[in-house]
């Protein structure tokens, strides 16, 4: 291949990725936000997921739904990020004692998503993909690489847990 052909191919790939990024960015950041509870963390998690996709774009672009792959990476990284943040918080509490408090979010949606984040990981991911990202059950199954029945089970269990948690809480 000549140098000119390589440059053209590289430009084409870059433009395809730019279109993909522009189309998927908002949804991936939103998913990362509801799973992590942090706006800045969500931006970072989404960026990391897109960087991973860009590095493997020759492979990822051939998938039926590259967006599902990026969402899965973002969801998995959000889980790791939450664990890391919890460990950091515990360390800060040990260092600073009781003076340290996490910021309180007061909006109704933040309350709901905080409860979603308390769910087991897969349940939280399925709820976020379904109700934030608007994915169909089959799309969630593809994103999380599990069966449709497994997604139905996670959604049902998550809804049951959330309903029990909100029985005593009034949300207007």
pLDDT in tens, 64-89: 999 999 999 999 888 877 777 766 66
CATH number of the domain at 161, please.
1.10.10.10
Q: What are the pLDDT digits (tens) for 88-141?
A: 666 666 666 555 454 444 467 777 888 888 899 999 999 989 988 889 999 999
Residue where a domain terminates, one of 71, 103, 135? 103
Do 33 and 57 lie in one domain? The reply is yes
Q: Which of 76, 103, 130 is the last residue of a domain?
A: 103
Give the separation between CA 167 and CA 128, rounded to whole angstroms.
21
Look up residue 44 and give its two tokens.
């970072």
From the number of C-beta atoms within 10 Å of its C-beta (0-12, 13-18, 19+), residue 103 rates as: exposed
Q: Is pLDDT above 70 for 143?
A: yes
The boundaries of the domain holding residue 134 are: 104-172
Query: With 0-12 CB in 10 A as exposed, 13-18 as middle and 19+ as buried, what is 143?
Result: buried
Predicted local distance difference test score (pLDDT) of residue 37: 83
Structure-token pair, residue 72: 């899965």
DSSP structural state of residue 38: -
**Residue 70 is part of a domain; what is its CATH number?**
1.10.1740
Q: At what angle do helices 3-36 and 66-96 cross, to 10 degrees?
A: 50
In whole angstroms, give the CA distance from residue 94 to residue 135: 41
- Residue predicted with more confidence, 8 or 41: 41
């Amino acid at each position: 291949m000549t140098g000119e052909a390589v440059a053209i191919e590289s430009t084409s790939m870059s433009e395809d990725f730019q279109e993909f990024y522009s189309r998927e960015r908002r949804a991936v950041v939103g998913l990362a936000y509801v799973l992590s509870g942090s706006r800045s963390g969500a931006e970072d998690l989404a960026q990391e997921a897109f960087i991973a996709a860009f590095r493997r774009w020759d492979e990822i672009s051939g998938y039926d739904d590259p967006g599902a792959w990026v969402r899965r990476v973002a969801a998995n990284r959000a889980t790791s990020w939450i664990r890391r943040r919890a460990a950091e918080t515990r360390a800060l509490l040990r260092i600073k004692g009781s003076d340290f408090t996490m910021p309180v979010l007061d909006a109704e949606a933040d309350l709901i998503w905080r409860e979603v984040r308390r769910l087991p990981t897969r349940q939280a991911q399925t709820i976020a993909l379904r109700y934030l990202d608007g994915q169909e059950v089959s799309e969630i199954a593809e994103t999380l690489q599990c069966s449709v029945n497994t997604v139905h089970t996670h959604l049902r269990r998550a809804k049951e847990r959330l309903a029990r948690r909100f029985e005593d809480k009034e949300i207007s």
